[in-house]
Structure 1
Amino acid sequence: MLVMFKNLKSGFQFLLSTWQQVFSQTATPPTRRYDLDWLRVLAFGLLIFYHSGMLYSQNWGFHFKSQYLSQCVENAMLLLSPWRMALIWFISGAALRFIVARLSFSHFIISRSIQILLPLLVGVWLVVPVQLYAEMSQKSGLNLGFWRFYQAFFDLSHPIFANNQAGIWPHVDVNHLWYLRSLWQFTLLLVLILPLLHFSKVQALIARLCELSPLIIFIVLLLPLCVLKLNWPSETFRYPMGALFLLYGYLLAWQSGFYSQLQRHWRALLVMFVLGYVLVVLGYHFIWQDPKASQWQTTSMDMLYTVQRLLGVMLMLALAQRFLNRDHPMLSKLNGAVFPFYILHQSMIIGLAFWLTPLQLGPLWEPVVIISVTFMSCWLFYEIMRRRDILCPLFGIKPRQEYSAKQRRVVSWIGLLLISPLVVELLT
């Protein structure tokens, strides 16, 4: 037993030293990628339009539905749905590559855990309940005022949640904040394989790949996606897909040849994307909506959708490289608003839809009001929160004032203490 313990200890020490070597590498990162900053802002901004559209989609499930359902809105949403989250995961992976280059191993693990899990903790207890209230009111006829419901929400054994027991804690679920939960989990997995990713031969292979034609790059990136799609249940496919695009973003973040290839061929990517969109819409109506569709038809449609997913990400990267790779006075502020917008937006959308339903505003004015008020409310909330440094970490906002070393240690210890119950739940 003592020998086994010593072997485990030496193995852990070897891994720790390997990780520390990765985080202490002195490779100079490329200049600031404004194109990825803009894409991050735009990708999260599109979520407001997309999740507002979910209120009105006739065939797609959602936490709450408007009385004005339409199948036509699904055609517009199919323009975004294949690639919207894949792009966010790619950008998240690229961001991690830049963060790893400037932080130590321990600082990376601690700071990322607090930056991701503290807003998640605040979100599931203070923001998400609005969605559960609207959903239960519509689907199960809940006859309870919101504040009485919210008081009951803190009772993990309350009988009104007997049919809503899936969550981090009983009935306390992540809903749209699943991205934050998965981002933290995938980040830990990425850290485990960092020594392999930074192995010189792996880096040389990736650099060589980026020198090849865009078609070959596309095929190489597509094959793992297709294999996953063919072998993973559709209900949970978003998780391995997200992990794979996070890995793609990390590996390709510093590969200037990759982005140069995309920029040179952005017109071809645009044509292919438009053609793919038309085929996806046709396949959606004539195959996915047809209960008599054969297995090979459904599988072919799944593969087409997967191709469109990768095409969409590559096109967005190409367009951003071509048209958005420049700074702007508002860019930093917009980037800072991404986290609070993401945390608040879906609860704002569903809450507004729920309380506006009795007014019967109609299929035009209701979505206009919901989208407009959601944007304005999220921005107002961000403006208020960013001026209160003590509250900024709760919503993923960078404080305006730099902390001293002592203050950073205190904040880190408080953050770790607050997120520790959530860490235990997510790891068990």
Structure 2
Amino acid sequence: MAEMFTHRSRPMTLATPRRHDLDALRVAAFLLLILYHLGMFYVPWGWHVKSDHLVPQLEPWMGAINPWRLTLLFVISGAATRFMAVRMPAPVLAAQRTQRLLIPLAFGILVVVAPQSWAEVVEKNGYAGSFLDFWPRYLGFDQSFGIILPTYNHLWFVAYLWLYTMLAIATRPLWERLDWLAARILKGPGLLLVPPALFGLYLATAGRTWGETHVVWADAYGHLQYGSAFLLGLLLARMDAAWGLFQRLRTGLALTAVVLLATGLALKDVETGGGPGAIGFAFLREGYAWTTICALFGYARRYIRSGSPILSTLTEAVFPFYIIHQTTIVVAGHLLKRLELSLTVEAVTILALTIGSCWATYAIARAVPMLRLPLGLKPLPRPSANQPAAVG
């Protein structure tokens, strides 16, 4: 058993193969996010717009994925950044990531997210104007509606990812030293125990005091949680033995996650009760989250060894999907309410419209070169100087 908790960190080679397992997990996490945001239209929790058909029974299911879904994405993003850093110098990486993240963010704020804010002020403030009436006020920083305008809503993830990427690149001379430290702290049991202890400490202190705001300049807890997750991914990218450990322990990790989840559901009232019980629950929650993430890494590493045309397409398409999906859910949900549809018909219709808008956005981005970057795709490669010009 001791051998299972012994590993050494060694550098990846320059010929690091494509991590199809992480590609698949990233795609799955973003597709899960689409369903999660559809669920936000129906659970009693506060959101931009709400259905007339609230479904409290969804809360435990959404609560079960809440602790790990975003942390998983930031860990994967940190690892992806490390892999990219192997292939390009720091200035090139900074320019490339700025282009790929800030252009879609700016376009999203100015165009994509605006209809969400319109639907929200219609429902919450009784605003009677059309979207075309509202849009100039949105772009003009009109704060009379009681919400921040303009805003990024679900695109906060992109803003945080850019910030962490720039900080990582700025501290690149420290990476080797951090690798040395991580190889000792995240060794054996430390790999499974240190991250949830750290995340639990964040939740028990900053999380209980300030909560999570998604406001980039005022989100101490969010930056502690997600910044640490990004850094963790940056370090794990070069720890080959860690991924092997995840793979070997995947079944035990999955069973442990189920036990921790069941315990958390049974003790749910403790979380809101305050005192030592709430602090203990914070560590239980983060233990469940990290164990789940480790199990997912293990299963993906074991069963996803190669790519496929479907995975390649989804890997490219998932960012355009992410950019458009919440606007479709919010606007479609808002407009369909007036039809007084049944819960099932309404939910299926919104889901169908969301899937259609995702694929349509991806198709438009591929077909219109000037929209590739704003909608989340890489720009087309520039023709080589030796390449003959196209004819006809």
Confirm whether residue 337 of structure 1 aligns to residue 311 of structure 2: no
Counterpart of 1:252 in structure 2 is 236
What amino acid does structure 2 have at the position aligned with 1:78? G
Equivalent runs, 1:26-37 vs 2, <5 Å: 27-37=13-23
- Aligned with 1:162: secondary structure? coil
Counterpart of 2:155 in structure 1 is 177
Q: 295, 299, 304: which one pairs with 1:315?
A: 295
- Aligned with 1:101: secondary structure? helix
Counterpart of 1:152 in structure 2 is 137
Determine if contact 1:57/1:71 at 8 Å carries over to the other structure. Answer: yes
For 1:405 and 1:188, locate their aligned partners in 2 and report how far apart those are by CA, in whole Å.
Answer: 29
Determine if contact 2:200/2:285 at 8 Å carries over to the other structure. Answer: no
Offset of 1:351 from its aligned partner? 0.7
Offset of 1:398 from its aligned partner? 2.1
Offset of 1:217 from its aligned partner? 1.5
Give aligned-pair identity as a percent.
30
Offset of 1:218 from its aligned partner? 1.1
Determine if contact 1:29/1:254 at 8 Å carries over to the other structure. Answer: no
Mark the CA change 1:258 to 1:70 in structure 2 (over 3 Å): closer, same or farther: same
- Aligned with 1:69: secondary structure? coil
For 1:311 and 1:360, locate their aligned partners in 2 and report how far apart those are by CA, in whole Å.
Answer: 42
Equivalent runs, 1:14-413 vs 2, <5 Å: 27-58=13-44, 60-156=45-141, 158=142, 161-164=143-146, 166=148, 171-199=149-177, 202-208=178-184, 212-213=187-188, 215-232=189-206, 233-235=210-212, 236=219, 237-284=221-268, 286-288=269-271, 293-399=273-379, 401-404=380-383
Mark the CA change 1:206 to 1:240 in structure 2 (over 3 Å): closer, same or farther: closer
For 1:53 and 1:341, locate their aligned partners in 2 and report how far apart those are by CA, in whole Å.
Answer: 17
Determine if contact 1:78/1:280 at 8 Å carries over to the other structure. Answer: no
Superposition RMSD on alpha carbons, in Å?
2.0
Determine if contact 2:76/2:233 at 8 Å carries over to the other structure. Answer: yes
- Aligned with 1:216: secondary structure? helix
Mark the CA change 1:88 to 1:114 in structure 2 (over 3 Å): closer, same or farther: same
What amino acid does structure 1 have at the position aligned with 2:267? G
What amino acid does structure 1 have at the position aligned with 2:270? I
Q: What do the CA deviations read for 1:79-123 (whole angstroms, capped 9, x no partner)?
A: 211100001001100110011111122211111111100000000
What amino acid does structure 2 have at the position aligned with 1:191? I
Q: What do the CA deviations read for 1:257-297 (whole angstroms, capped 9, x no partner)?
A: 0011011111111111111222232333x234x6xx24222
Runs of 4+ in 1 over 4 A off after TM superposition: none
For 1:62 and 1:189, locate their aligned partners in 2 and report how far apart those are by CA, in whole Å.
Answer: 31
What amino acid does structure 2 have at the position aligned with 1:183? L
- Aligned with 1:152: secondary structure? helix
Q: What do the CA deviations read for 1:331-351 (whole angstroms, capped 9, x no partner)?
A: 221111111111111111111
For 2:36 and 2:89, locate their aligned partners in 1 and report how far apart those are by CA, in whole Å.
Answer: 37
What amino acid does structure 1 have at the position aligned with 2:99? I
For 2:24 and 2:75, locate their aligned partners in 1 and report how far apart those are by CA, in whole Å.
Answer: 14
Determine if contact 1:344/1:378 at 8 Å carries over to the other structure. Answer: yes
Counterpart of 1:6 in structure 2 is none
What amino acid does structure 2 have at the position aligned with 1:275? V
Q: Output the TM-score relative to the length of structure 2.
A: 0.88
For 1:182 and 1:247, locate their aligned partners in 2 and report how far apart those are by CA, in whole Å.
Answer: 13
Offset of 1:254 from its aligned partner? 2.4
Mark the CA change 1:261 to 1:209 in structure 2 (over 3 Å): closer, same or farther: farther
- Aligned with 1:390: secondary structure? helix
Offset of 1:44 from its aligned partner? 0.7
For 2:26 and 2:249, locate their aligned partners in 1 and report how far apart those are by CA, in whole Å.
Answer: 22
For 1:119 and 1:378, locate their aligned partners in 2 and report how far apart those are by CA, in whole Å.
Answer: 15
Determine if contact 1:118/1:393 at 8 Å carries over to the other structure. Answer: yes
Q: What do the CA deviations read for 1:158-193 (whole angstroms, capped 9, x no partner)?
A: 4xx414353xxxx11111111111111111211232
Determine if contact 2:34/2:325 at 8 Å carries over to the other structure. Answer: yes
Offset of 1:405 from its aligned partner? 6.9
Determine if contact 1:280/1:305 at 8 Å carries over to the other structure. Answer: yes
For 2:276 and 2:152, locate their aligned partners in 1 and report how far apart those are by CA, in whole Å.
Answer: 35
5+ unaligned residues in a row in structure 2: which ranges? 1-10, 213-218, 386-392
For 1:187 and 1:402, locate their aligned partners in 2 and report how far apart those are by CA, in whole Å.
Answer: 23
Mark the CA change 1:67 to 1:270 in structure 2 (over 3 Å): closer, same or farther: same
